[in-house]
Amino acid sequence: MEKTPFVSGAEDIHWDLDDLYRDVDDLRTDLTSCAQLAEDFAKSYRTKVAGLEALDLAIAMNRLGEIQDKAGRSTTYAFLDWSTDTADPERGALLQEVRERYTQISSNLIFFELEWVALEEAAANHLLEAAELNYFRHFLEVQRAQRKHLLSEPEEKILIEKAVTGRAAWNRFFDESLSDARYDYEGDLLTQQEILSKLHGADRAERKKAAEAFTAGLTERARPLAFIFNTILADKATDDRLRAYPTWISSRNLSNEVDDETVASLVEAVTSGYGIVEKYYGIKKRMLGYDDLYDYDRYAPMGESDTRVTWAKSTEIVTEAYAEFHPKMGEIVKLFFSENWIDAALAPNKRGGAFSHGAVPSTHPYILMNYTGRVRDVQTLAHELGHGVHQYLSRDQGIFHADTPLTTAETASVFGEMLTFQSLIKKEEDPRNRLAMVMGKIDDTFATVFRQISMYRFEDRIHAERRETGELSVDRFSEVWLETQQAMFGESVELTDNYKIWWSYIPHFLHTPGYVYAYAFGELLVLALYQRYQEIGESFADQYLELLSAGGSDWPHVLLSRMDIDLRDKNFWSAGVQMIAGLVDEAEQLSTLVK
């Protein structure tokens, strides 16, 4: 008997971009205005930055901020509009037009940063101590931290303008190729989101078929995908050489405002905990009654696998969890639903995955999802709303400090997942359901910590090999992928030949090299924050909102030190990994109660 298709209620959940622009002509008018403002700015300040007093520099920063906010609004609209239908040529053309015009505007403004970082240390420090520059201080500090890696103005202009038809173009080609891809599952042509969703189902045969179908689709595209990877790896190698970065990850760490030693400590702590992964999957294999656990079994549920959650119920669950923690957070979450700031419907050529786009401070964030109604989609919604709340609260910091480094950007999202999980589990009394929930949480936590660090190690290898030996073949990418993944699983999970090509669909490797360790950073940080919440109770909620509202207005280690967290303590990361081990122990104990 054929199953009745699930109707989630998200089929008509689309965002309203009118808060950005009601008409594309208005967008183009804004870009023209920005271009003129940038030219006027350059006439006012070129060759003069070194002679500015603190008040004059603050006035210049305000003018610069106005240009960047207006230009950012146009790029936000074009990107969001394209994301919901990447096959529409008009949307693609608009995105490219906006990116090209935005690049020209940025090119006219690059002189300002170069002149600022060229100031002698004493002169710059004198300005940074002035009260008039309090609102801009950290942004100016961060710019100066990059001074050793900046080139001359003509060189910087060339790199900015060529990136539009270089790295950015390859990334767009990758996104459109995978958005357009369909995977043949027993005659049904499924999107990436739909096929991957089947890996979380209870039927093992269906999971295996889904994995095989996904592999077949990726294999058909393996050569062009490998070419895109090689091109972007080479592009980054060139940039790093020209800018004198010592390693492939140095620029990312500097952008994340963390030192190399902190990241190395994080990676070491997580890889040292790989035994926890092996233990957990051993438990899962035993509970599932399997002789062998394969890659397509990793997310096999332990409870009601085919449970579906309507969009209405999902919004209720997440809103309640946020509101229980802090009423203000609940109020902000409600805005995303009532004001249509979310696009959740499945669509044929929609960008895969999920994200929250912070837009610019003069407007508000937008969230994209592909809502299938799976239980894990509730957690995805909680995750993206964490980003959204963070971005909404930090708008008061202005265009220069509203955004945070990637490391702390993941804090609010993972914390939102934790709030939702804890809200659900405390209401559940049935040991079987509690076990299913705990194991689902462990699956997600492993994906956020251990899997991301294994992917970081994959990146580390392919960047090194591309620089040392040249282009990597499809087979070589696959070999490195399997080696770095198998190291995490040990002997607990058998990776099939199908799994070897799965490196090729992960966009973070291309869009933001080195991004992935930020997920582990955020998860372990959240475990520490949640432990602090349990220790001190309600007063923590106000402190947490202050942290989010601070945005990127100071160094991460400074902001978090206000909550008695020391990111530079090597034992900090190991303690977080041990908390995950505690979750695995809890699952093992619960498993003895449900036999």
Chain segment 373-415, per-residue pLDDT in tens: 888 899 999 999 999 999 999 999 999 999 999 888 989 999 9
Which helix (H) or strand (E) segment is 190 a member of?
strand 188-190
Other C-beta atoms closer than 10 Å to the C-beta of 210 total 24
Instruction: Decide if 156 is inside a domain.
Output: yes
C-alpha distance from residue 43 to each of 38, 93, 155, 255 (Å): 9, 31, 20, 29
Instruction: Decide if 43 is inside a domain.
Output: yes
Domain that holds residue 30: 17-165
Q: How far is CA 313 from the centre of its chain?
A: 25
- Average per-residue pLDDT in the chain? 93
Report long-range pairs for 101-104 (Cβ below 8 Å, ≥24 apart): 101/31, 101/35, 101/74, 102/31, 102/71, 102/74, 102/75, 103/160, 103/161, 103/163, 103/164, 104/35, 104/161
Closest C-alpha among 74, 77, 139, 90 to residue 112: 139
We report the CATH number of the domain holding residue 99 as 1.20.140.70
Q: Rounded distance, CA 39 to CA 476, Å?
A: 48
Above 60 in pLDDT, residue 244?
yes
Ramachandran region, residue 371 (left: φ > 0; alpha: ψ -120 to 50; beta: rest): beta
pLDDT bucket at 433, cuts 50 / 70 / 90: confident
pLDDT, position 374: 83
- 8 Å CB contact between 210 and 193: no
pLDDT, position 481: 98
Q: Are strands 355-357 and 183-185 parallel, antiparallel or unpaired?
A: unpaired
- What would the two tokens of residue 225 be? 């995908």
Q: Which pLDDT tens digit goes with each residue over 522-579?
A: 899 988 888 888 888 888 999 999 999 999 999 999 999 888 888 878 788 988 899 9
Which helix (H) or strand (E) segment is 367 a member of?
strand 366-368
Q: Rounded distance, CA 412 to CA 547, Å?
A: 10
Q: Rounded distance, CA 412 to CA 318, Å?
A: 14
Instruction: Decide if 137 is inside a domain.
Output: yes
- 8 Å CB contact between 547 and 560: yes
Number of domains within the chain: 1
Residue type, 11: E
First vs last Cα of the chain: how many Å apart? 32
> DSSP secondary structure string, 307-355?
-B--HHHHHHHHHHHHHHH-HHHHHHHHHHHHTT-EE----TTPPSS-E
Q: Rounded distance, CA 59 to CA 130, Å?
A: 13
Instruction: Decide if 91 is inside a domain.
Output: yes
* Paired strand residues for 366: 357
pLDDT, position 543: 93
Q: Rounded distance, CA 70 to CA 391, Å?
A: 17
Q: How far is CA 205 from the centre of its chain?
A: 32
Report the pLDDT averaged over residues 171-192.
94
Above 70 in pLDDT, residue 166?
yes
- Between 3-7, 348-352, 427-431, the lowest mean confidence (pLDDT) is in 3-7
Q: Which pLDDT tens digit goes with each residue over 264-287?
A: 999 999 999 999 999 999 999 999
Angle between helices 260-272 and 570-593 (to 10 degrees): 30
More confident residue, 76 or 372: 76
Q: Rounded distance, CA 240 to CA 235, Å?
A: 9
* Sheet containing 342-343: order of strands: 342-343, 366-368, 355-357
Instruction: Decide if 133 is inside a domain.
Output: yes
- 8 Å CB contact between 364 and 395: yes
pLDDT, position 21: 97
Above 50 in pLDDT, residue 1?
no
Q: Rounded distance, CA 279 to CA 228, Å?
A: 37
- 8 Å CB contact between 46 and 111: yes
Other C-beta atoms closer than 10 Å to the C-beta of 578 total 13
C-alpha distance from residue 457 to each of 142, 213, 447, 454 (Å): 27, 27, 14, 5
> DSSP secondary structure string, 98-149?
HHHHHHHHHHHHHHHHHHHHTS-HHHHHHHHTSGGGGGGHHHHHHHHHTGGG
In the block, residue with structure tokens 């303690």: 575
What residues have CB less than 8 Å from 506, skipping those under 6 apart? Answer: 455
pLDDT, position 14: 98
Q: CA-CA-CA-CA torsion for 277, 283, 289, 291, nearest 10 degrees?
A: 50
Q: Which pLDDT tens digit goes with each residue over 287-332?
A: 999 999 999 999 998 865 457 889 999 999 999 999 999 999 999 9
Q: CA-CA-CA-CA torsion for 19, 25, 31, 32, nearest 10 degrees?
A: -140
Instruction: Decide if 124 is inside a domain.
Output: yes
Q: How far is CA 552 from the centre of its chain?
A: 16
Q: Rounded distance, CA 521 to CA 415, Å?
A: 12
Q: Which pLDDT tens digit goes with each residue over 202-230?
A: 899 999 999 999 999 999 999 999 999 99
In the block, residue with structure tokens 């967008």: 27
- Between 13-17, 144-148, 236-240, 435-439, the lowest mean confidence (pLDDT) is in 435-439
Report the pLDDT averaged over residues 58-84.
97
Sign of the alpha-carbon torsion through 303, 308, 313, 316: positive
pLDDT, position 303: 65
- 8 Å CB contact between 11 and 345: yes
Instruction: Decide if 138 is inside a domain.
Output: yes
pLDDT, position 435: 85
Residue 186, SS3 per DSSP = coil
Above 90 in pLDDT, residue 193?
no
Instruction: Decide if 136 is inside a domain.
Output: yes
* Paired strand residues for 183: 190
Report the pLDDT averaged over residues 351-363.
94
